[in-house]
Amino acid sequence: MPKAGRGLEELVATLEEILADSAVEVRSPDHIDGKSGSSREVDVSLRARVGSVEVLVILECRDRGRSQDIEWIDQLIGKRDDVGASKAVAVSRAGFTSGAQKRAEQGAIELRTLDSVTRETVWGWVGVEFATATVRQFDIKRAQICIPTAVPEKIRLAAQRVISGKLQIDAPILVRTTDETPVSLGDVWREAPKPAELDSLTPGIPKRGTLHVVPGDPDESSAWYAIPTEFGQVRISEIVLTGDFRIDQRRIPVSRSVYRSADTSFVEIAHVDVRHKQEVVRMGLHSTLDGSKVVVIDNPGGVAFQADLLFKVIDEGESPVHGN
């Protein structure tokens, strides 16, 4: 399970990548050997070379509901000195107490916040209140993996033993023929061309259907799926998936925030979070000081659903769309 506050660390790492020169390496998290002899974990590190000098900047993040106090700043000063960082930055979603601000100034710690802002404060560059998320789903009920008839019986039986009773959607029972990467039936569904009929479904109402997945090129050297056996890969000829197709549409508010220090706004952020079961996909639109805008899609868990996020203005009186 990800540690509390990991989402803020990942967001800060992404923002720093947007702001950084291409020669800067961003790591999150990072583990650095300290002068104390211990390995120290930092939330985000920036590494670069200036001439012959290696430069290290560390950023520590706190996603708490209250302002951070002097104790955390003292801890960060100690960590900076231990790992030999040129600079340390403290990032708090809720800001800092006055004591923490004074201690940070004394200890040369830069303070940054990730503040939520209102529509009226900034954001002339994105006049969107809500996003409509369309989630395409396929609940697989049956699956058939077809083995070519030319495969010798002994090898065929070995392949059938591998897949027998293991047709759960997320079980990695196949491999890609190019690199032997494990593949599940869910991966096959996500990578296959989507039936045109899927877009004509009524949101929230499932429809039973069958998806036939075949190689785009019958050439044996082309990328495709195979069953791993003790005799090597057994290339399959077709995958037939039967189940319930469904699309859901959800009206999701756009959240806005600013990544900034006391006197400078670095990045303005607008994002929507699409949640499905225990997974989250975040789509963000980031605007930097130089006027550039970057769209970032964050899918940390490799979620087993597809989301097409359409930025669309929804009028105050317009009824929201619904989905489960």
User: What are the CB-based long-range contacts (under 8 Å, 24+) for 213-219?
Assistant: 213/188, 213/238, 213/239, 213/240, 213/241, 214/238, 214/239
pLDDT tens readout for residues 143-168: 889 999 899 999 999 999 888 865 67
pLDDT tens readout for residues 237-265: 999 989 898 887 777 777 778 888 887 87
Q: What average pLDDT does the segment 20-29 reach? A: 81
Reduced 3-state DSSP string for the chain: CCCCCHHHHHHHHHHHHHHCCCCCEEECCEEEECCCCCEEEECEEEEEEECCEEEEEEEEEECCCCCECHHHHHHHHHHHHHHCCCEEEEEECCCECHHHHHHHHHCCEEEEEEEECCCCCCCCCCCCCEEEEEEEEEEEEEEEEECCCCCCHHHHHHHHHHHCCCCCCCCCCEEECCCCCEECHHHHHHHCCCCHHHHHCCCCCCEEEEEEECCCCCCCCCCCEEEEECCEEEECCEEEEEEEEEEEEEEEECEEEEEEECCCEEEEEEEEEEEECCEEEEEEEEEECCCCEEEEEECCCCCCCEEEEEECCCCCCCCCCCCC
pLDDT, the chain, mean: 79
**Residue-level pLDDT at 278:** 67
**Residue-level pLDDT at 316:** 34
Extract the tokens encoding 41.
């974990």
Q: What average pLDDT does the segment 66-77 reach? A: 95
**Residue-level pLDDT at 91:** 93
Supply the pTM of this predicted model. 0.57
pLDDT tens readout for residues 42-52: 999 998 887 77
pLDDT band at 117 (very low <50, low <70, confident <90, very high): low
pLDDT band at 295 (very low <50, low <70, confident <90, very high): low
For residues 111 and 260, give the distance between their C-alpha atoms in angstroms, rounded to a whole number. 9
Q: What average pLDDT does the segment 83-93 reach? A: 93
For residues 41 and 54, give the distance between their C-alpha atoms in angstroms, rounded to a whole number. 19
**Residue-level pLDDT at 217:** 67
- pLDDT above 80: residue 40: yes
- pLDDT above 80: residue 112: yes
- pLDDT above 80: residue 33: yes
Q: What average pLDDT does the segment 39-61 reach? A: 89
